[in-house]
């Protein structure tokens, strides 16, 4: 049976608690692993946000820098890509929760001033000033786990003589839990409202497919921490390697994993396929309800 989900509030915006929330992905980048730059242009990004809202997205997550390896993008360029766009989305969709995927406090400050409600820190506090910005504005904050990976390393790197990094854990679930709960408490201590703090096990980042599957199988332990859990596994390598399919053929696997995590009580799903994900979490909520 689906667990009770903790209350989630972003800058005073109280979120529905009867089902998992859906966070649409809109990448203002030319080199996203999934959409290959389909929403880099402003018009395309604007249309993507409008479609996501029409499809039932509760949150839209806007990013200006590819998470993995790629050309260097400085603060000015990242800001140029996301800050005016956040302001436009805020005006077009006053009730929408806007998230920004950034690790930089300079960008975080500008997007919060433009109307962002949530800072999605994919790189686990690489810039410790970002959490201070979230606290200053009363914005939400995502605590992620990357297993010690260097900033903007490819999320799932194969070991090579030049880069021998490979994720190793004695107990991946216990270690992820310990790091995320510590980070979440530290975030609240810094002044971020408790109801706006999410934890993200961050599938593929610093974890092999085996590690990701272990986390998914024991997802109830993440939920049992009491922190709202964000799931970002849409079309990722965890799905591709499990099913031996390329990125464009991972929807079925993504929805299966979504159902598992939703039934365990996940709070938010970061998704490329908004309508299908919204239907999946609604189905889990409905099918799990006992009168």
118/170 Cα distance (integer angstroms): 33
Render the burial of 179-201: b for 16+ CB within 10 Å, e for the rest: bbbebbeebbeeebbebbbbbbb
Using DSSP bridges, classify how beta strands 59-63 and 140-144 pair: parallel, antiparallel or unpaired.
unpaired
Render the burial of 145-162: b for 16+ CB within 10 Å, e for the rest: bbbebeebbbbbbeeeee
Of 23, 26, 187, 39, the closest CA to residue 97 belongs to 23
Q: How many CB atoms lie within 10 A of CB 210?
A: 13
130/103 Cα distance (integer angstroms): 7
Q: Is 119 helix (H, G, I), strand (E, B) or coil?
A: strand
What is the Cα Rg of the chain in Å?
17
Q: How many CB atoms lie within 10 A of CB 109?
A: 21
- Residue 236 falls in the annotated catalytic set: yes
Q: Which of 109, 250, 270, 278 is catalytic?
A: 270
- Residue 270 falls in the annotated catalytic set: yes
Q: Which of 11, 236, 250, 278 is catalytic?
A: 236
Q: Return the active site residues.
A: 236, 270
């Amino acid at each position: 049976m689906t667990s009770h989900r903790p209350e989630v509030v972003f800058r005073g915006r109280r979120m529905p608690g009867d089902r998992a929330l859906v966070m649409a992905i809109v990448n203002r980048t030319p080199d996203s692993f999934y959409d290959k730059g389909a929403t880099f242009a402003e018009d395309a990004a604007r249309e993507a946000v409008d479609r996501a809202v029409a499809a039932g997205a509760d949150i839209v997550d806007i990013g200006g820098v590819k998470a993995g390896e790629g050309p260097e993008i400085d603060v000015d360029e990242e800001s140029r890509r996301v800050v005016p766009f956040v302001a436009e989305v805020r005006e077009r969709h006053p009730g929408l929760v806007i998230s920004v995927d950034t690790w930089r406090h300079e960008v975080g400050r500008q997007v919060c001033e433009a109307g962002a409600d949530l800072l999605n820190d994919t790189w686990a506090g690489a810039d410790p000033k970002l959490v201070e910005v979230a606290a200053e504005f009363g914005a939400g904050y995502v605590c992620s786990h990357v297993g010690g990976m260097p900033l903007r390393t490819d999320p799932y790197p194969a070991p090579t003589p030049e880069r021998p990094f490979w994720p190793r854990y004695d107990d991946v679930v216990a270690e992820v839990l310990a790091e995320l709960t510590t980070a979440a408490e530290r975030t609240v201590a810094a002044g971020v409202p408790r109801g706006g703090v999410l934890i993200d096990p961050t599938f593929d980042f610093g974890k092999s497919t085996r590690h990701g599957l272990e986390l998914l199988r024991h997802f109830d332990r993440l939920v049992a921490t009491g922190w709202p859990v964000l799931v970002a596994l849409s079309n990722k390598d965890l799905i591709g390697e499990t099913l031996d399919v390329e990125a464009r053929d991972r929807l079925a696997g993504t929805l299966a994993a979504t159902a598992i995590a939703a039934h365990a009580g996940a709070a938010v799903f970061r998704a490329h396929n908004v309508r299908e994900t919204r239907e999946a979490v609604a189905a889990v909520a409905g099918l799990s309800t006992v009168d």
